[in-house]
Amino acid sequence: MNKQVASWSLVECDKKLTEFRLHGVRNSELVVDITKRVNELDRSWKGIQDKHAALEQCTMACLDVGSVKLAQKLFHLIERDFPPETSVRAQKLNLLFYEKHDLESVILEREELEKKVPTDQGIQKRFIADQIASGNNDKAIILLCEHLETFQTDDHSWMCLSDLYINEGQYDKAAFCLEELVMKNPHTAHYHIRLAEIYYTWASLESGSSSLNLITDLFQSSKSHYSHAVNLTIKSEQGANLKALFGWLQAARALLSSRNTKKQSKEIKEDQHILDFAQNCLRKTKIPGLPGKLTEEYLDKAFSSLNLVE
Residue 86 lies in a domain: no
Domain count, the chain: 1
Return d(Cα 115, Cα 105) in angstroms, integer: 16
Residue 240, domain extent: 196-310
Distance of alpha carbon 230 from alpha carbon 246, whole angstroms: 10
pLDDT tens-place string over residues 75-123: 999 999 999 988 989 999 999 998 888 888 888 888 888 888 887 888 8
Q: Which residue has the higher pLDDT, 233 or 138?
A: 138
In a domain, 168, yes or no: no
What residue spans of 98-241 are helical by DSSP H?
103-116, 121-133, 137-150, 155-167, 171-184, 189-206, 212-233
In a domain, 289, yes or no: yes
User: Which residues 6+ apart lie within 8 Å of 12 measured at CB?
Assistant: none
More confident position, 135 or 267: 135
pLDDT digits (tens, 9 = 90+) for 261-300: 444 555 555 555 655 665 566 555 555 554 555 455 555 5
Note if the pTM is more than 0.85.
Answer: no
80-109 burial, b for 16+ CB within 10 Å, e for fewer?
eebebeebebbbbbbbbbebeeeeeebbeb
Residue 147 lies in a domain: no
Residue 218 covered by a domain = yes
Question: What is the Cα–Cα distance from 202 to 42, expressed in whole angstroms?
Answer: 54
